[in-house]
Chain A
Amino acid sequence: MSTAELVNHRPARKWILSTVAIVVSLVVFVIPFAFIVLTAVKDRTQSADLSFSWPHQFRFVQNFIEVVEARDYMLVIAFINSTILTVVSVTGMVVLAAMAGFVLQRRKSRWNGFINFLVLAGLIIPPAVVPTIWVLQKIGLFKTMPGLILIEIAYGLSFCILLFRAFVATIPRELDEAAIIDGAGPLRLFFQVVFPLLRSVIVTVVVVQSVNVFNDFVNPLYFLPGDQNATVQLTLYNFSSQFTTQYNLLFMDILLITIPPLIMFLFFNRQIVAGLTSGAIKG
């Protein structure tokens, strides 16, 4: 452990501090989630109290079925849509960004400065919404799933390229050279030699970006309006106006939508942390 320890080792103080920290964390962070779960299993009248109380009766299954059936199984459609959106756009991002990041790191040319500038611009500049709709309409992709997928890829590329470029720098050039000497062309060199070596950073990118795309609300709102195409975040938004008297169903929806990120968190905690802190030490 190379952790810098600031707090002294006096045991009494350590225990007091720990207890306070745990109690505060329960109040601040755990209660809101407990509230979601409790409200999601309540019946309709009790959930309308908005109180933090033990349910009179557990209606997990009924509430679940009701939420799923609401508005002609919109939630099921939304989950399918969100899954397609997440899987396809994240796959696209990974492949394209890995290719770009690889060449950007390996090949030194006078364009590198300009390309790096564009990558950073993609992180900083807020996308221009209506002109993007205008472009999508011109190419016939507005209000279509492929259009939204391409949008997600375009907005996610910058972050991915930064991670890939940094990771490619750690792969020795000798490997490339050996592959080239053995007769590999550019495509083979990348897909058969370099790409497999990127595995750990690919896992990071996939996990971080799937959570991002799955939780994205703004882009589906603008670029894929309409109930038939709803993604899960939009169902939440639509339900919130429809279910104002049925908080149990609204919170059941919130609960269901929280499960995929929770699974990601439980299995890939380390990769998420690696991805999100990658810029912290270099600055």
Chain B
Amino acid sequence: MRSVAITSVKPRERSKARPAASAAGSKVYRPYSNWFYLPTAIIYGVLFLVPTFASLYFSLTRWSLFESKFIGLDNFKLFFQEPALVKGFTNTLIYAVITSGSKVVLGLLLAVLLTSQIVARGYLRSVVFFPVLVSTIGVGLTFTVLMNPEKGLINESLGLLGISGPGWLTDPKWALLSVAAVDVWKGVGLATLIYIAGIVSIPREYIEAARVDGATSWQQFWRIVLPLSRPATVTVIILSLIGGLRSFDLIWAMTRGGPGFTSDVIASVIYKQYQAGFYGLSTAGNVVLFITVTAIILPLSWFLNRKEVDL
């Protein structure tokens, strides 16, 4: 094969060695053309990068889409003074931390359960995972009905047990937590799946060796499974934090930020200000969200990825 190549096509033979050599921009034939980036670069640049950079400017303006007036940091001041908007900011953090934390804990427990030898494992895995694929709006509307304070199934069942459940979505104390709970219900399947992949990749010998040495199930979990599924934990934390901080559809389908603005998050504030025509303020919300997400995710992923476990 190789000898044929050398004798038949001389000029092209040189290009064979090219990929290994450093690309310095010389005129040699290249099989890997930079043109392949072009369509991606145009779409991504025009519809993602340009708006992202434009948002930095427009967040400093009063803006009607046609004309913009520079007003400095007024939008941001408003964002951190108006109680409704501040509430949106703190709620975003609470929501992200609660959903992410619950997904890590529940996902890990479910994954341990679903990799153990129990009956109907396939059924259990499917049923835990399926909600991930269902429309968020559909899930939100269904649970709005189930959480109805008087007639909903949840409070009816609690009533049978003698507990009078709160108005899950109508009580300001509970609204955000209820939505977060539904978010966990819908998203825990993904966390479980990621953990299952992590646990399955742990060599079985480790567990067997530990068992021979007389380790209890708890010790096996705490000393072997938990540390070795660290990459999975990192993935689950990062993914669910990004999702939680940006979350909009579920909250919008269930409470629309209500009652009042007690379950507003930044993403729903952005939508409300957009609907009200305050484009500058809405964009400022976007910049706040952008900064929040980067300020949390970048250091966190750097920190989590730094400490690798020795195998």
**Set of chain B residues within 8 Å of A25, measured between Cβ atoms:** 123-124, 127-128
Query: Which listed residue, B65, B113, B231, B270, touches A21 by the CB 8 Å rule?
Result: B113
B81: Cβ under 8 A from any A Cβ: no
Tell whether, in the assembled complex, residue B40 and residue A5 are in contact, meaning their CB atoms are under 8 Å apart: no
Residues of B within 8 A of A107 (CB): 19, 23, 30, 32, 34
B:228-243 near A, CB below 8 Å: 230-232, 234-235, 242
Interface residues on B, range: 35 or more
Residues of A within 8 Å of B40, CB to CB, are: 96-97, 99-100, 157, 161
Of B19, B46, B63, B220, the contact of A106 (CB 8 Å cutoff): B19
**Residue pair B118, A173 in contact (C-beta under 8 Å):** no
Contact of B80 with A by CB under 8 A: no
Are the C-beta atoms of A189 and B31 separated by less than 8 Å? yes
Distance A262 CA – B127 CA, assembled complex (angstroms): 11
Bound-state Cα–Cα, A155 to B52, Å: 12
Of residues 13 through 72 on chain B, the ones whose CB sits less than 8 Å from some CB of chain A are 13, 15-16, 19, 22-23, 30-37, 39-40, 43-44, 46-52, 54-55, 58, 63, 65
* Interface presence of B95 (CB below 8 A): no
Q: Are B54 and A269 in contact, with the CB atoms below 8 A?
A: no
Per the bound structure, the CA–CA distance linking A39 and B248 in Å amounts to 26
Counted as pairs of residues, one from A and one from B, with CB atoms less than 8 Å apart, the total is 316
Q: Which residues of A lie under 8 Å from residue B163 when comparing CB positions?
A: none
**A283 interface residue, CB < 8 Å from B?**
yes
Task: Tell me which residues across on chain B come within 8 A of A177, comparing CB atoms.
Answer: 16
Task: Tell me, in angstroms, the Cα distance from A281 to B63 when the chains sit together.
Answer: 46
| B200 adjacent to chain A (CB < 8 Å) | yes
Query: For residue B201, which residues in chain A have a CB less than 8 angstroms away from its CB?
Result: 281
Contact status B43-A154, CB under 8 Å: yes
Nearest A residue (CB) for B23: A109
B153 touches A150 (CB 8 A): no
Is B227 positioned at the interface, with any CB of A under 8 Å from its CB?
Answer: no
Is A169 positioned at the interface, with any CB of B under 8 Å from its CB?
A: no
- The answer to whether A129 and B274 have CB atoms under 8 Å apart is yes
Q: Is B199 in contact with chain A by the CB < 8 A criterion?
A: yes
Verify A233–B137 contact, CB threshold 8 A.
Answer: yes
A2 CB contact (under 8 Å) in B8, B152, B200, B242: B200
Q: Which residue of B lies closest to A8 (CB)?
A: B217
Q: With the chains together, A42 CA to B8 CA distance in Å?
A: 75
Bound Cα distance A173, B32 (Å): 12
| Inter-subunit contact B231/A35 (CB<8 Å) | no
A sample of 25 cross-chain residue pairs with beta-carbon separation below 8 angstroms, ordered by A number, consists of A4-B199, A4-B200, A6-B220, A8-B217, A14-B119, A21-B124, A39-B145, A102-B32, A106-B31, A108-B19, A123-B242, A126-B267, A127-B52, A129-B274, A129-B282, A130-B65, A161-B40, A173-B19, A180-B16, A186-B30, A186-B33, A254-B135, A262-B133, A280-B232, A283-B235
Residues of chain A having any CB pair with chain B under 8 Å: 2-9, 14-15, 17-18, 21-22, 25, 28-33, 35-36, 39, 49-52, 96-97, 99-100, 102-104, 106-109, 115, 118, 122-137, 139, 150-151, 153-155, 157, 161, 173, 176-178, 180-181, 183, 186, 189-190, 211, 214-215, 217-218, 221-222, 232-233, 236-237, 240, 247, 250-251, 254, 257-258, 261-262, 264-265, 269, 272-273, 276-277, 279-283
Extra contacts, 10 of them, besides A21-B124, A128-B286, A283-B234 (Cβ < 8 A), are: A5-B115, A14-B118, A15-B119, A51-B156, A96-B43, A124-B294, A129-B271, A134-B65, A153-B43, A273-B193
